[in-house]
C-alpha cells in the first residue's frame, strides 16, 4: 500500500484546526459558568484578574456592552462556539487520518465561512480578521489543489 506524500502545510492545517477547536471548546465550556449571572460584574472581575484598568474608557465600554448580553444570547453564542470547536476537531482528525471525508468537510465548512469573514472585514478591518480570512482562503485552495494527499491506493 502506497502512503500519501508528506506535507508540512497539511501538518500546519491540522495543528491550526486542532488549536482552534480546543480554544473554541474551552471558551464555550467556560461560558457555561456565566449562565444566569450578571455579565457586567463577571467581566469586570475577569478584567481585574488580568490587571486591566476597568476605569479606562475602552475597557469600561467593552464591559458595559458585554453586560447587555442576555442569557438567551449567551446560550446561543456558547452553543455555536462549542459546535465550531467540535467541527474543527473533527476536521483535524479527518485530515490527520488522511480521510477523504476530512478533506471535503474542511473545504466545505471553511468555504462556507468565507463570505461571513468578508462581511466582517467590511464592517471593520482588523489584523486578526484579515489573518483568519487569508488563512481560510489558503487552506481551501491548498486542500482543493492537493487531492493526492488523501488517496490511499
Say how far apart CA 23 and CA 153 lie, in whole Å: 35
pLDDT of 27 strictly over 50: yes
Which DSSP letter does residue 37 get? S
What ranges in 1-70 are assigned the alpha helix state H?
A: 8-32, 39-49, 57-67
Q: 61: pLDDT confidence band, cut at 50, 70 and 90?
A: very high
Say how far apart CA 25 and CA 43 lie, in whole Å: 19
CA distances from 14 to 62, 103, 153 (A): 33, 11, 22
Give the model confidence (pLDDT) of 69-91 as tens digits.
999 999 999 999 999 999 999 99
Check residue 4 and give its pLDDT. 57
- CA-atom Rg of the chain in angstroms: 19
Amino acid at each position: 500500500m502506497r502512503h500519501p506524500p508528506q506535507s508540512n502545510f497539511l501538518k500546519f492545517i491540522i495543528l491550526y484546526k486542532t488549536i482552534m477547536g480546543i480554544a473554541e471548546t474551552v471558551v464555550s465550556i467556560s461560558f457555561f459558568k456565566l449562565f444566569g449571572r450578571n455579565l457586567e460584574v463577571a467581566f469586570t472581575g475577569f478584567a481585574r484578574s488580568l490587571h486591566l484598568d476597568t476605569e479606562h474608557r475602552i475597557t469600561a465600554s467593552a464591559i458595559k456592552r458585554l453586560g447587555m448580553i442576555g442569557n438567551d444570547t449567551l446560550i446561543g453564542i456558547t452553543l455555536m462556539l462549542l459546535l465550531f470547536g467540535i467541527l474543527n476537531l473533527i476536521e483535524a482528525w479527518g485530515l490527520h487520518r488522511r480521510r477523504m471525508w476530512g478533506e471535503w468537510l474542511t473545504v466545505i465548512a471553511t468555504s462556507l465561512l468565507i463570505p461571513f469573514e468578508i462581511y466582517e472585514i467590511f464592517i471593520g478591518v482588523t489584523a486578526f480578521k484579515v489573518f483568519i480570512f487569508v488563512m481560510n482562503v489558503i487552506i481551501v485552495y491548498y486542500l482543493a489543489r492537493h487531492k493526492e494527499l488523501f488517496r490511499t491506493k
